């Protein structure tokens, strides 16, 4: 849902997230012992790095505009956001 609204995403690497999130539109944080620390670092990166965040937003906008005829990706995003 976040990506459908033009926002970069931070997620763990579960199946549906890996299908939708790429390096250009979000950050995948691996499962590790210190996952909360890695998630916090990823969120901080997005909050502090204006250029990265803006580039990710542009990438998301391109995906949305090129996939306007396909709803499959956005159904997956809704499932992710509702878990």
pTM: 0.68
- pLDDT tens readout for residues 24-75: 888 999 887 778 888 899 999 988 999 999 999 998 888 777 665 454 544 4
Kind and range of the H or E element at 79? Answer: helix 72-82
13/74: higher pLDDT? 13
Domain count of the fold of the chain: 1
Strand boundaries in 1-83, DSSP class E: 9-11, 26-28
Task: Return the pLDDT at 49.
Answer: 92
Look at the block and give the residue holding tokens 């890695």: 38
At how many degrees (to 10) do helices 50-66 and 35-48 cross?
Answer: 90
Q: Which domain holds residue 12?
A: 3-82
């Amino acid at each position: 849902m976040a990506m459908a609204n033009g926002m970069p995403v931070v997620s763990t690497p579960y199946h549906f997230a890996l299908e939708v999130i790429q390096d250009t539109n979000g950050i995948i944080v691996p499962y590790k012992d210190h996952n909360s620390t890695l998630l916090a670092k990823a969120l901080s990166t997005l909050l502090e790095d204006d250029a990265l965040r803006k580039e990710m937003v542009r990438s998301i906008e391109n995906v949305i505009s090129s996939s306007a005829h396909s709803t499959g990706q956005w159904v997956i995003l809704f499932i992710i956001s509702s878990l």
